[in-house]
C-alpha cells in the first residue's frame, strides 16, 4: 500500500477555525486554511495536520489532525517567549515534518526561518502561502523573512498582483491559486437592506476609523461595524468613537459561522484596508448578492473588471459617493450584487482550489 502524503499547515492562529473557539476572528487566513485543509483531508492519499498555537481540545476535526507545542502557554510570557519558541521548533518539527510537505501561511508566522531550516533538514518540502499583499512587500534582503522565502520549494500567491510584487521585490517565482469560498444556493435578503456593513479585525492595517469619516460624510446612512478586537486599547478607542456617532453601530464580536445574516441585510459591504490578500468579505458580500465598495484594494481589477463593486483609489469622498449610489439606487445595487453572486457561483469551488494545491504537492513529491 502506498503511504499517505503528510501535509502540515503551519499557522499560529489556525486552530481557532477548526475548534470554533470563543472569540475566533471572522474571515481571514484561518478560515481559508480551514476550508483548504478539510477539503484536502477528504482525499485518502493525504494525511493532513494543522499546526497552530493554543490548547488542542479536539485532536481530530473533519479528518484534520490538530497539533500544538506543549510549550504554547509560554509564548505569551515576554521574558521567555523567544526561548520557548525555539524549544517548540525542536519539539514539533522532528516529530511531524519528516518527509512531509509543510505549508507556512503569512509573513508573521512564528520562527518562520528556524522552522523552515529544521524542516528541510528533516527532508520536508516547504511551501509558503501568502496571506496578503503585505507578504509580497519588500523587506531587508538579509533578514529572516527574506532568507526563509529563499528556502521555500514553492510559493503560492492569491492574485497576479502578489505574483508580480514577489518577483519584483524578491526575484522569486510563484504559483497563482485564486482562493474560493463556499457559495450556498439561497441568496441573501437583498430586498430589505438596513445598513452599510464593515467587517474585519480591529487592527490599524484595516483602518476601521475610516468608517467614522464616511459616516460623517453620509450622516443619513446607517453603518454597522463588526470589529473583532486584536489590541484591547485600540479596540476600546474604536468602540468609543463609534458610540459618539448616531449613525454607527459597532459590534465587537460575531463568530464567522453566524455572520452571514449580517451581510444579507446590508446595502453594500465596504473595505477600508491598507492592503489585503483576497478578502473573505468579498465572497460573503457576493453570497448576499450585494456590491463591494473598496477604498484601496482592487487587485487584478477584480471589482471593476467583473462589475461586482467599486474601488475609490484611496479617496474617501469617492468612496462615499459610491456608497450613496448603492444606498439610493436599488436597481443598481441589485444589478451589481447579482453580478457578484453569479461570478462567485461559477468559480466558487473548493474542490478546484484543493486540486491546484495537490498539483503543487505532486510536483514537489516527484521532484
In this structure, what CATH number is given to the domain that contains residue 251? 3.40.50.2000
Indicate if 173 and 61 belong to the same structural domain.
yes
Instruction: Please tell me the pTM assigned to this model.
Output: 0.90
Output the CA torsion sign for 250, 256, 257, 261. positive
Average pLDDT of the chain to the nearest whole number? 90
Look at residue 255 in the predicted model and tell me its pLDDT. Answer: 77
Q: Does residue 220 lie in a domain region? A: yes
Q: What is the pLDDT of residues 87-121, one digit of tens each?
A: 888 889 888 888 899 999 877 655 888 889 999 99
Q: What is the pLDDT of residues 218-248, one digit of tens each?
A: 999 999 999 988 788 898 999 999 999 999 9
Indicate if 147 and 240 belong to the same structural domain.
no
Indicate if 221 and 246 belong to the same structural domain.
yes
Look at residue 113 in the predicted model and tell me its pLDDT. Answer: 87
- Could you tell me which of 266, 275, 256, 249 has the C-alpha nearest to residue 340? 266
Is the pLDDT reported for residue 26 higher than 50?
no
Average pLDDT over residues 305-326: 97
Is the pLDDT reported for residue 367 higher than 90?
no
Look at residue 185 in the predicted model and tell me its pLDDT. Answer: 64
Indicate if 138 and 256 belong to the same structural domain.
no
Of all helices (H) and strands (E), which one includes residue 176?
strand 175-176
Is the pLDDT reported for residue 162 higher than 60?
yes
Q: Does residue 199 lie in a domain region? A: yes
Confidence class for position 136, pLDDT limits 50, 70, 90: very high
Q: Does residue 185 lie in a domain region? A: no
The packing angle between helices 316-328 and 330-347, to 10°, is 100
Q: What is the domain extent for residue 253?
A: 195-347
Average pLDDT over residues 258-264: 89
Indicate if 21 and 154 belong to the same structural domain.
yes
Indicate if 262 and 213 belong to the same structural domain.
yes
Indicate if 57 and 124 belong to the same structural domain.
yes
Alpha helices in 41-140 (DSSP H): 78-96, 112-121
Indicate if 341 and 361 belong to the same structural domain.
no
Tell me what percent of the residues of the chain surpass a pLDDT of 90.
60
Look at residue 190 in the predicted model and tell me its pLDDT. Answer: 53
Look at residue 230 in the predicted model and tell me its pLDDT. Answer: 76
Average pLDDT over residues 153-174: 96
Contact present, 45 and 6 (Cβ < 8 Å): no
Q: Does residue 307 lie in a domain region? A: yes
Is the pLDDT reported for residue 201 higher than 80?
yes
Is the pLDDT reported for residue 183 higher than 80?
no
Look at residue 108 in the predicted model and tell me its pLDDT. Answer: 63
Confidence class for position 327, pLDDT limits 50, 70, 90: very high
Look at residue 141 in the predicted model and tell me its pLDDT. Answer: 84
Q: Count of domains in the chain?
A: 2
Distances (CA, A) of 156 to 94, 133, 153: 24, 12, 10
Look at residue 30 in the predicted model and tell me its pLDDT. Answer: 82
Print the SS3 string covering 243-274: HCCCCEEEECCCCHHHCHHHHHCEEEEEECCC
Indicate if 205 and 59 belong to the same structural domain.
no
Look at residue 45 in the predicted model and tell me its pLDDT. Answer: 95
Pairing of strands 64-67, 60-61: antiparallel
Distance CA 122, CA 85 (A): 18
Confidence class for position 296, pLDDT limits 50, 70, 90: very high
- Could you tell me which of 168, 155, 164, 181 has the C-alpha nearest to residue 300? 164
Alpha helices in the chain (DSSP H): 15-19, 28-40, 78-96, 112-121, 144-150, 160-170, 210-217, 232-243, 260-264, 280-288, 302-305, 316-328, 330-347, 350-366
Most confident segment among 77-86, 179-188, 265-274:
265-274
Burial class of residue 349 (count of CB atoms within 10 Å of its CB; 0-12, 13-18, 19+): middle
Indicate if 218 and 358 belong to the same structural domain.
no
Pairing of strands 46-51, 64-67: parallel
Tell me what percent of the residues of the chain surpass a pLDDT of 70.
94
Amino acid at each position: 500500500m502506498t503511504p499517505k502524503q503528510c501535509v502540515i499547515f503551519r499557522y499560529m492562529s489556525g486552530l481557532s477555525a477548526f475548534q470554533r473557539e470563543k472569540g475566533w476572528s471572522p474571515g481571514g487566513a484561518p478560515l481559508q486554511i480551514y476550508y483548504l485543509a478539510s477539503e484536502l483531508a477528504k482525499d485518502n492519499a493525504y494525511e493532513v495536520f494543522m499546526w497552530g498555537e493554543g490548547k488542542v481540545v479536539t485532536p481530530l476535526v473533519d479528518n484534520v489532525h490538530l497539533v500544538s507545542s506543549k510549550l504554547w502557554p509560554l509564548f505569551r510570557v515576554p521574558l521567555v517567549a523567544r526561548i520557548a519558541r525555539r524549544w517548540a521548533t525542536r519539539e514539533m518539527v522532528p516529530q511531524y515534518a519528516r518527509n512531509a510537505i509543510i505549508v507556512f501561511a503569512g509573513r508573521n508566522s512564528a520562527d518562520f526561518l528556524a522552522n523552515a531550516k529544521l524542516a528541510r533538514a528533516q527532508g520536508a518540502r516547504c511551501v509558503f502561502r501568502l496571506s496578503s499583499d503585505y507578504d509580497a512587500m519588500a523587506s531587508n534582503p538579509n533578514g529572516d523573512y527574506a532568507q526563509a522565502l529563499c528556502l521555500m520549494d514553492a510559493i503560492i500567491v492569491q492574485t497576479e498582483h502578489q505574483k508580480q510584487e514577489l518577483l519584483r521585490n524578491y526575484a522569486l517565482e510563484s504559483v497563482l491559486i485564486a482562493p474560493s469560498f463556499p457559495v450556498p444556493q439561497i441568496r441573501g435578503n437583498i430586498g430589505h437592506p438596513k445598513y452599510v456593513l464593515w467587517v474585519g479585525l480591529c487592527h490599524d492595517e484595516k483602518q476601521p476609523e475610516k468608517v467614522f469619516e464616511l459616516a460623517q460624510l453620509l450622516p443619513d446612512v446607517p453603518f454597522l461595524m463588526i470589529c473583532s478586537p486584536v489590541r484591547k486599547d485600540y479596540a476600546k478607542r474604536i468602540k468609543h468613537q463609534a458610540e459618539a456617532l448616531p449613525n454607527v453601530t459597532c459590534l465587537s464580536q460575531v463568530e464567522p459561522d453566524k455572520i452571514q445574516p449580517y451581510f444579507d441585510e446590508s446595502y453594500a459591504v465596504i473595505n477600508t484596508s491598507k492592503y489585503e490578500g483576497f478578502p473573505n468579505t468579498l465572497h460573503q458580500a457576493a453570497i448576499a448578492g450585494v456590491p463591494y465598495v473598496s477604498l484601496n484594494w482592487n487587485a487584478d481589477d477584480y471589482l471593476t473588471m467583473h462589475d461586482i463593486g467599486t474601488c475609490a483609489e484611496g479617496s474617501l469622498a469617492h468612496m462615499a459617493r459610491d456608497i450613496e449610489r448603492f444606498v439610493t439606487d436599488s436597481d443598481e445595487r441589485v444589478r451589481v450584487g447579482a453580478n457578484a453572486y453569479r461570478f462567485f457561483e461559477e468559480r466558487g469551488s473548493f474542490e478546484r482550489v484543493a486540486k491546484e494545491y495537490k498539483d503543487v504537492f505532486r510536483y514537489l513529491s516527484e521532484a
